[in-house]
Chains A and B, each alone.
Chain A
Amino acid sequence: MTQWSILDTWIVIVGSLCAAACALPGTLLVLRKMSMMGDAISHTVLAGLAIAFLVTHRRDPATMFVGAVVIGLVTALLIQLVGSLGRTEIGASMGIVFTSLFAMGLVLMRQAIDHVEIDPDCVLYGAIEASYFDQITWMGMNLPRAAIINGGAGIFNLLLIVVLYKEFKVSAFDPALSTTLGINANVMHYLLMTMTAVTTVAAFETVGSILVIAMLIVPPATAYLLTDRLSFMMCWSVLLAILAAIFGHVSAVTVPTWFGFGGTSTAGMMAFCAGLIFVAVWLLAPRHGVLSKVFHRCILQLRIVREDVLGLLYRLEELPPSHELSTTPALLQGILGVGPVLSTLAVSSLARRGYIEHRSGQLHLTNQGRRAGRHLIRSHRLWESFLQKHLHLASDHVHEPAEQLEHITDAAMQNQLAERTNQPQTDPHGKKIP
């Protein structure tokens, strides 16, 4: 690995500030299902810079900044306008407005480029690697300009969201109610667009206009999988964004060297890491993650098979003693119609908990197991009685639904069922209800 220097530290700091600043408005964009609005606005920044220069013939940063932010807002306005003219849905409207403005930006840039020092490469990919060398003095310290700009955008966003937290929340969740409460949803929409424009303009020098969208959307979309509260979602977004920035730069300088290449684009790696983090969370998130869903489904399936084994053993015990009792695990598996893995797991976990025991190759219920089996069979037969009495199902149609309902019936529900069916002694098939 190459030597870590002050340069790298500042790249990580600038990247983190930029990512964190993007994550805040990004959360609201994702929740309002307007993710691509950030993309649209970031693409029109170019036009804003060119127009600002052509109009004012000045190229100081403040003029450029204001010009870009204004064009960002104009983009948002035009998108709403084109969308409201009818026959154009909002996605198409975005496509129309931002591509036109982006193309116009490119053409104007060409016109203006002889006069302005705008590097197209830097516009598209950012220049985070060079940010350390562009320093300005602020409060007696020499700081990279990018750190101050992105930090400023982050503080601007943070202040707005802290002060107007409930207004942003209600206008994103229920714009109609929000407006009737006197919190005009349109005003809040354009405030969010202002935030997005400011952040995008600040960020685009750092990560480039293409990668801004990744920083705006991916960390919030990841956070959405991790929590059910808006405030936590915002905190997670910022945290994940910073993580993506750190890992992004570290892997940009290390990973390519493993393959004998030099370092690669940090901005690109930041976006890529954000994507990797999303995939990891998508797989591993405790509640909304794919693996946790699969895991919970397996646990549920195992519980059902366990109960079925107890029920089956109980039914076999009910048979007159003259029957040849054969309760080998293999036989159980055949009757229950489940795979060998599941049945082996079920039998071994029942044995471990003392519900069943192995005696000379056969399975037998313990007293504890018998109680559990009786409970299940009682639920099953009560349900059959109930379905026949109250839903008028034929007696040969009650087994299947009862087979499912028996697994979600507790003692209280059992008592209610017994009451509603007048405490029957036998089920519709004439079997005794234990």
Chain B
Amino acid sequence: MTISTGQPGASGVSSPIGQNRSHIATGDEHPVTAPLSIHDMTVAYHRKPVLWDVDLDVPSGRLIGIIGPNGAGKTTLIKATLDLVPKASGRVLVFGKPYRKQRHLVGYVPQRESVDWDFPVNALDVVAMGRYGTIGWCRPVTKRHRTAAYEALDIVGMADYAKRQISQLSGGQQQRVFLARALAQDAQLYFMDEPFASVDVATEKAIVEVLRRLKDAGKTVLVVHHDLQTVSEYFDYLIFLNMRVVTHGPVGEVFTPENLKKTYGGRLTLLNEAAELFARQAR
């Protein structure tokens, strides 16, 4: 299935997680522009700094975990990057251009609790919202977009629930609907805010499957993650965050007790957990 955006200037967009990357400046003769570069970003709430001087170049085509303790500014990092909270300073480039000009390349999965699930829409309506940016202002949602939304629901195993009102879905199913919406967005760079938070096993599997598909399609995905046990299994690149970027790099290089200690500070229980984790991996 191929879907074109119907917008002049935008190149063809393939199925929800298609391989088409023609609108990104990639090419063998040019160095690949980073999907996301953040320069000197500082964010403060009521004068209290939450993020300090974040400088980050994110590599292309990776599954990137953002880890750090509660209150480390993980959600704020995403929200400030996406202009959802004001920045005190700093700028954000997406594939080498300011974010404002590149919105269509960016997908976002907010925390599940951030919306009212009693809203009178069904699962398919929510997924179709992922395509609103592509459809453009004042144009109606056509059958073609609904088909794309339905296919995205199918990928996360929720096709049977398309017509279900969203309050009648379980928490895990709601999370999968959000994920399907991200797929329907057909972006190149994704931000996901704790998609694994309190979901069932089937949903966890579905999310991992979706992440793999996105990676295979060459997309870059940043995921706020809490469970250190699964970090090395799910991600191939990590950002350690605690008000500033402690370190970042491929999982094999940076997922060490020292970095965890630097990020999580003196939280003993967590360090013990980490020690156990490394002991198990060494075996």
Taking CB atoms, residues of chain A closer than 8 Å to B104 are 182
CB pair B126–A173 under 8 Å, yes or no, is: yes
CB pair B137–A167 under 8 Å, yes or no, is: yes
CB pair A176–B110 under 8 Å, yes or no, is: yes
Q: Which residue of B lies closest to A163 (CB)?
A: B138
CB pair B108–A176 under 8 Å, yes or no, is: yes
Given contacts A169-B121, A170-B132, A229-B120, contact A86 B103 (CB under 8 A): no
Q: How far is the CB of A206 from chain B (nearest CB, A)?
A: 29
A155-177: contact bitstring with B at CB < 8 Å (1 yes, 0 no)? Answer: 00000000111110110111011
B133 contacts chain A at the CB level, 8 A cutoff: yes
Q: How far is the CB of B90 from chain A (nearest CB, A)?
A: 18
Given contacts A166-B135, A170-B129, contact A228 B165 (CB under 8 A): yes
Considering only residues 16-31 of chain A, those with a C-beta below 8 Å from chain B are: 31
Considering only residues 86-106 of chain B, those with a C-beta below 8 Å from chain A are: 103-104, 106
Q: How far is the CA of A86 from the CA of B135 in the complex (A)?
A: 37
CB pair B132–A166 under 8 Å, yes or no, is: yes
Taking CB atoms, residues of chain A closer than 8 Å to B120 are 31, 224, 227-230, 232-233
CB pair A182–B103 under 8 Å, yes or no, is: yes
Q: Which residue of A lies closest to B109 (CB)?
A: A177
Taking CB atoms, residues of chain B closer than 8 Å to A232 are 120
Q: How far is the CA of A166 from the CA of B125 in the complex (A)?
A: 10
Q: Which of A165, A179, A183 contacts B84 (CB 8 A)?
A: A179
Q: How far is the CB of B77 from chain A (nearest CB, A)?
A: 14
Taking CB atoms, residues of chain B closer than 8 Å to A176 are 79, 82, 84, 108, 110, 114
A394 contacts chain B at the CB level, 8 A cutoff: no
Taking CB atoms, residues of chain A closer than 8 Å to B141 are 166
CB pair B140–A230 under 8 Å, yes or no, is: no
Q: How far is the CA of A36 from the CA of B114 in the complex (A)?
A: 22
A280 contacts chain B at the CB level, 8 A cutoff: no
A322 contacts chain B at the CB level, 8 A cutoff: no
Given contacts A166-B140, A176-B110, contact A230 B121 (CB under 8 A): yes
Q: Which residue of A lies closest to B106 (CB)?
A: A180
A77 contacts chain B at the CB level, 8 A cutoff: no
Considering only residues 81-132 of chain A, those with a C-beta below 8 Å from chain B are: 86
A34 contacts chain B at the CB level, 8 A cutoff: no
Q: How far is the CB of B8 from chain A (nearest CB, A)?
A: 16
Given contacts A165-B140, A183-B133, A230-B120, contact A177 B108 (CB under 8 A): yes
CB pair B108–A180 under 8 Å, yes or no, is: yes
Q: Which residue of A lies closest to B119 (CB)?
A: A173
CB pair A86–B121 under 8 Å, yes or no, is: no
Given contacts A166-B141, A228-B165, contact A179 B122 (CB under 8 A): no
B113-132: contact bitstring with A at CB < 8 Å (1 yes, 0 no)? Answer: 01110011110011001001
Taking CB atoms, residues of chain A closer than 8 Å to B116 are 31, 33, 173
Taking CB atoms, residues of chain A closer than 8 Å to B125 are 169, 229-230
Q: How far is the CA of A87 from the CA of B95 in the complex (A)?
A: 39
CB pair A181–B103 under 8 Å, yes or no, is: yes
Q: Which of A86, A181, A230 contacts B133 (CB 8 A)?
A: A181
A214-240: contact bitstring with B at CB < 8 Å (1 yes, 0 no)? Answer: 000000000010011110110000000
Considering only residues 225-274 of chain A, those with a C-beta below 8 Å from chain B are: 227-230, 232-233
CB pair B137–A229 under 8 Å, yes or no, is: no
CB pair A229–B79 under 8 Å, yes or no, is: no
Taking CB atoms, residues of chain B closer than 8 Å to A181 are 103, 129, 132-133, 185
Taking CB atoms, residues of chain B closer than 8 Å to A167 are 132, 137-138
Q: How far is the CB of A143 from chain B (nearest CB, A)?
A: 31
Q: How far is the CB of A34 from chain B (nearest CB, A)?
A: 12
Q: Which residue of B lies closest to A174 (CB)?
A: B115
CB pair A174–B110 under 8 Å, yes or no, is: yes
Given contacts A176-B84, A176-B110, A177-B108, contact A31 B103 (CB under 8 A): no
Q: Which residue of B lies closest to A87 (CB)?
A: B46
Q: How far is the CB of A295 from chain B (nearest CB, A)?
A: 19
Q: How far is the CB of A238 from chain B (nearest CB, A)?
A: 15
CB pair A31–B119 under 8 Å, yes or no, is: yes
Considering only residues 140-195 of chain B, those with a C-beta below 8 Å from chain A are: 140-141, 165, 181, 185
B57 contacts chain A at the CB level, 8 A cutoff: no
Interface centre among A163, A166, A174, A180 (most CB of B within 10 A): A180
Q: How far is the CA of A244 from the CA of B212 in the complex (A)?
A: 55
Q: Which residue of B lies closest to A229 (CB)?
A: B120
Taking CB atoms, residues of chain B closer than 8 Å to A173 are 115-116, 119, 121, 126, 129
B83 contacts chain A at the CB level, 8 A cutoff: yes
CB pair A86–B108 under 8 Å, yes or no, is: no
Q: How far is the CA of A232 from the CA of B126 in the complex (A)?
A: 16
Q: How far is the CA of A153 from the CA of B173 in the complex (A)?
A: 41
Taking CB atoms, residues of chain B closer than 8 Å to A172 are 119
Taking CB atoms, residues of chain B closer than 8 Å to A31 are 116, 119-120
Taking CB atoms, residues of chain A closer than 8 Å to B138 are 163-164, 167
Given contacts A31-B119, A166-B140, A228-B165, contact A183 B110 (CB under 8 A): no
10 residue pairs of the A-B complex, CB under 8 angstroms, read A31-B116, A33-B116, A166-B129, A172-B119, A173-B119, A174-B114, A174-B115, A176-B82, A176-B114, A179-B84
A residues contacting B by CB (< 8 A) are 31, 33, 86, 163-167, 169-170, 172-174, 176-183, 224, 227-230, 232-233
10 A-B pairs besides A31-B119, A176-B82 with CB distance below 8 A are A33-B116, A163-B138, A166-B140, A170-B129, A176-B114, A177-B108, A182-B133, A228-B121, A229-B122, A230-B125
